[in-house]
Amino acid sequence: MSVHNNFIKTGTKCIGVAANYKSLLKILNRPKPKCPDFFIKPISSYITEGQKIKIPKGFTVNEEVELGVIIKEKCKGVLECNAMNYVGGYCLALDMTATCKLLEARKTGGSWTLGKAFDTACPVSCFISKDEIKDSNNVQLWCSVNGIEKQNGNTNDLLFNIPFLISYISNFITLEANDVIITGSPPGMGPVKEGDIIEAGIVGGVYMKFEVDKE
């Protein structure tokens, strides 16, 4: 199976990495974790431009811009030194997060699933080829809400870089062709509401725009 623009239909899962920017950990005053903390979004949470982000009734939802890594072929137990061989391309993603449900989960020790996996929780851009991103450790991302910039960060600030993430995750979970790893979000994420317009992009590269609506 080849990687192509239909990754949102042919992948089996999207794996997100939590709190993976050094600058965010500093702001949150959190210690550096020993290993990545990750979660899974179902492919049913994907939407593309032209579709609206739907906030479920009673939810408080934040926008989080992230670089997505699209896996080229099935792999398991990948060595970090070989990890980039399994990258087929990239995408820009918004990790829409129901912070209200995450706070509840943290208090009770419950699952993050509802906070991360609701319908429309993962807006994504078109496929970005490896030729368009020469250095995945130097990608400038930005996100604005209603024309006001909220996030601006570079993947050189990632705590766990892309080769390490592919290696680490694949030791526990087999990665399939067109699976996506969303690599974490820089500081500045915040709540959005019905009627908001979210714009996001890679400096010198892809751009996307989504309207927020209620369920």
Whichever domain contains 18, its CATH number is 3.90.850.10
Asked whether residue 1 is domain-assigned, the answer is no
- Model confidence pLDDT, tens digit, residues 58-79: 999 999 999 999 999 999 999 9
Residue 19: inside a domain, yes or no? yes
Of 19, 17, 20, 118, nearest to 60 by C-alpha is: 118
pLDDT of residue 1: 41
How open is the CA angle 119-122-123, to the nearest 5 degrees? 110
CA 93 – CA 111 distance, rounded (Å) = 22
Q: Strand pairing partners for 75?
A: 175
Q: Which domain holds residue 66?
A: 6-214
Q: Does residue 12 fall inside a structural domain?
A: yes
Give the type of residue at 136.
Answer: S
Interatomic CA distance for residues 69 and 86, integer angstroms: 10
Residues 6+ apart with CB under 8 A from 60: 98, 99, 100, 191
pTM for the full model?
A: 0.95
Residue 34 lies in a domain: yes
Output b/e per residue, 47-60; b: 16+ Cβ within 10 A: beeeeebbbbeebe
Residue 203 maps to a domain: yes
100, amino acid identity: C
List the one residue out of 145, 155, 140, 125 whose CA is nearest residue 188: 145
Is 86 inside any structural domain? yes
Is 138 contained in some domain? yes
Q: What are the pLDDT digits (tens) for 174-208? A: 999 999 999 999 999 999 999 999 999 999 999 99
If one counts the domains in the chain, the total is 1
